[in-house]
Amino acid sequence: MKKMSNIYESAANTLGIFNSPCLTKVELRVACKGISDRDALSRPDPCVILKMQSHGQWFEVDRTEVIRTCINPVFSKLFTVDFYFEEVQRLRFEVHDISSNHNGLKEADFLGGMECTLGQIVSQRKLSKSLLKHGNTAGKSSITVIAEELSGNDDYVELSFSARKLDDKDFFSKSDPFLEIFRMNDDATQQLVHRTEVVMNNLNPAWKTFKVSVNSLCSGDQDRRLKCIVWDWDSNGKHDFIGEFSSTFKEMRGAMEGRQVQWECINPKYKAKKKNYKNSGIVILNQCKIHKMHSFLDYIMGGCQIQFTVAIDFTASNGDPRNSCSLHYIHPYQPNEYLKALVAVGEICQDYDSDKMFPAFGFGARIPPEYKVSHDFAINFNEDNPECAGIQGVVEAYQSCLPKLQLYGPTNIAPIIQKVAKSASEETNTKEASQYFILLILTDGVITDMADTREAIVHASHLPMSVIIVGVGNADFSDMQMLDGDDGILRSPKGEPVLRDIVQFVPFRNFKHASPAALAKSVLAEVPNQVVDYYNGKGIKPKCVSEYESSRTLAP
């Protein structure tokens, strides 16, 4: 098979996408200034919605909290987005006034928007632009977005604060306290890390437990100063200062394993004026839990194997394999699109599979000896052992089975998804990160069992598996895009949503003149995140801690 070697070589060059860090995560913080409400008598209740563009459509990624009656909001909620250096990622920040009786957007007033690319924010670190409304500037309102790369440590910490005997700032009722935590930066500026909810009419509040990344809290530096301020909330947005204290993450870690850490909440003005002043209350950290976030490399280096399965479309719409116009035509020197896609993706996956044995199936053909239609037959015709030795073995099985098949139909892919899901389901019983399944489906047309396929994908989203669909040929694949949850949430016919986005759909024609490396990179880019999301979501740690992982752990 010397004629195939050039494809193998170029596909092998793509191995770098898994060896280098899979992608960079960026945290975006948002603040606005001078927001004007359409109603001059009241202040707006702003919320910022982040949208991202995909295939020319805008879809919502996330939204901040709503800050009541505020024209210069600094939002506590962070946006975490994946940054790809090689892509233009278009973002749109929309500011809406969300009325208190309705948290949806139907009641909301659009106060202005700003469009930019993630690259612009990342390169400038801090981007400030005017808010635009219907193409015009919205008064003097502006938005500022600050980007921060998540460093190697993506662990997060869970904190639970309460307070007692806070100063009473209200005449007719007790204070309505909330707590803000700021990180002090190297340049002496301060960055809001978290703002708790308001506890009404209570001098001994217990705030809700919250999670924040270690990176966001202290940039990985446990001795970095943290400034904490307690306020008495006021409906007009002019909150009264109760007191403040300083701490570090190192000090907060004292609240692990059932212990508490306490600080006196001090009002410097009172302290300077009053002789007998002790404090304006006590703030207590009741618990500090550190959650380890494992990376894709942690799982792979811990011994997790990628189980790669391929399924090939043998429906009649591909054309007679003996005809040079057929998508299945075997040219003596030039591999067809099915082979190119198979080799490009398979070459990368096989490096993460120790036995290099790959189950390979076909669907949509009549198969010997009885020539009944099958949607999940082994292309080596050995139903007891459908595995082929290496990608080379899959290529050879594909070439030898073609003359024996009758291409038929319809294009049903639910059976093959269910077949792999059965293996993945058995794997969940081990409660270990030992095998993750990737199903590569190569098809030339729009599938006919869309309802069953959606059902199968929703079921599979709960299992350690991902599905990659490569559309071969020039059919209209617009219906296939709905299976790839990037543009919205895929649901089963009964309305059940996918637990996580596990499908990646790519039309091969987009890569016809590109290298196999480009195709492989496109279809496999989401896999590392999907692996991490599955195991972290289930609380499953890597099987054995690798040297790589121990070298990046936060020192106690």
Copy the structure tokens of residue 203: 């001098």
With cut-offs at 50, 70 and 90, classify the pLDDT of residue 555: very low
What mean pLDDT is predicted for residues 493-517? 84
3-state secondary structure 167-180: CCCCCCCCCCEEEE
Residue with tokens 């890569």: 511
13 secondary structure, DSSP code: G
For the cut 80, the answer to whether the pLDDT of residue 135 exceeds it is no
Place of tokens 């106060």: 111
> Is 544's pLDDT higher than 60?
yes
Q: Which residues pair with 484 in a beta bridge?
A: none
Rounded to whole angstroms, the Cα distance separating 441 from 313 reads: 8
Averaged pLDDT score across all residues of the chain: 85
Q: How far is CA 267 from CA 167, 195, 225, 427, 436, in A?
A: 10, 19, 18, 58, 55
**Res 178: pLDDT:** 97
Q: Is the pLDDT of residue 114 over 90?
A: yes
341-353: pLDDT as tens digits = 888 888 777 777 7
**Quick one: pLDDT at residue 50?**
95
Q: Which amino acid is at 297?
A: L
Task: For residue range 415-473, list pLDDT tens digits in order.
Answer: 999 999 999 999 998 889 999 999 999 999 878 999 999 999 999 999 999 999 999 99
pLDDT for residue 188: 85
Q: How far is Cα 436 from Cα 358, in angstroms, rounded to an integer?
A: 13
Percentages helix, strand, coil for the chain (3-state, rounded to 5) are 25, 35, 40
pLDDT attached to residue 511: 81
* Cα separation, 412 vs 349, whole angstroms: 25
User: What are the structural domains of the chain?
Assistant: 11-150 (2.60.40.150), 156-291 (2.60.40.150), 296-425+440-448+514-538 (no CATH)
Angle formed at CA 336 by CA 335 and CA 338, multiple of 5 degrees? 115
If pLDDT is split at 50, 70 and 90, which confidence band does 101 have? low
Closest CA to 315 of 447, 504, 505: 447
Greater confidence, 243 or 69? 243
Residue with tokens 């270990």: 432
The one-letter amino acid at 470? V
Q: What's residue 252's pLDDT?
A: 95
Range of lowest pLDDT (243-252, 456-465, 544-553): 544-553
Q: By C-alpha distance, which of 433, 416, 405, 424 is closest to 549?
A: 433
Beta bridge partners of 219: none
For position 38, what pLDDT does the model report? 61
Residue with tokens 């302290």: 271
Give CA–CA dist 389/408, Å, rounded: 27
Q: Is 543 helix (H, G, I), strand (E, B) or coil?
A: coil
DSSP 430: T
pLDDT at 221 > cutoff 90: no
Q: Which helix (H) or strand (E) holds 311?
A: strand 305-313
| SS3 annotation, 475-532 | CCCHHHHHHCHHHCCCECCCCCECCCCCEEEEEHHHHCCCCHHHHHHHHHCCHHHHHH
Say what the pLDDT of residue 41 is: 67
Res 551: pLDDT: 42
Q: If we measure between CA atoms, which residue out of 312, 457, 452 comes closest to residue 394? A: 312
pLDDT at 261 over 90: yes
SS3 347: helix
Strand partners, 302: none
Indicate the residue type of 375.
Answer: H
Whether the Cβ atoms of residue 398 and residue 386 lie closer than 8 Å to each other: no
Q: Which residue in the block uniquely carries the two structure tokens 């409400």?
A: 37
CA 340/CA 11 separation, integer angstroms: 9
State the residue for tokens 């596909």.
Answer: 11
- Does position 3 have pLDDT exceeding 70, yes or no? no
Strand ranges inside 19-135, DSSP E:
24-33, 46-54, 57-63, 79-83, 90-97, 109-117, 126-133
* SS3 state at 1: coil
Record the tokens describing residue 12, joined without a space: 């092998």
pLDDT for the residue 12: 37
Confidence tier at 5 by pLDDT (50, 70, 90): very low
Say yes or no to pLDDT of 208 above 60: yes
Higher pLDDT, 267 or 522: 267
For the chain, what percent of residues have pLDDT higher than 70? 88
End-to-end CA distance of the chain: 55
What's the pLDDT score for residue 103?
52
Per-residue model confidence as pLDDT tens digits over 379-429: 999 999 999 999 999 999 999 999 999 999 999 999 999 999 999 999 998
pLDDT at 552 exceeding the cut of 50: no
**β-sheet bridge partners, residue 305:** 435
Q: How many residues does the chain have?
A: 556
Angle between helices 516-524 and 5-12 (to 10 degrees): 50
Cβ-contact 56, 67 below 8 angstroms: no
At residue 464, the pLDDT reads: 96
Q: Which pLDDT score, from 0 to 100, does residue 478 have?
A: 79
User: Is pLDDT larger for residue 70 or for residue 523?
Assistant: 70
DSSP state of 123: H
DSSP result, 384-402: T--EEEHHHHHHHHHHHHG
Neighbours of 43 (CB within 10 A): 19
Residue range 520-549: mean pLDDT, rounded: 77
Tell me if 154 sits within 8 A of 22, measured CB to CB: no
Q: What is the reported pLDDT for 22?
A: 40
Whether pLDDT at 7 is above 60: no
For the cut 70, the answer to whether the pLDDT of residue 86 exceeds it is no
Q: What is the pLDDT of residue 2?
A: 37
**What's the confidence (pLDDT) of residue 376?**
95
Question: What is the arithmetic mean of pLDDT over 298-305?
Answer: 80
Band of residue 553 on the pLDDT scale cut at 50, 70, 90:
very low
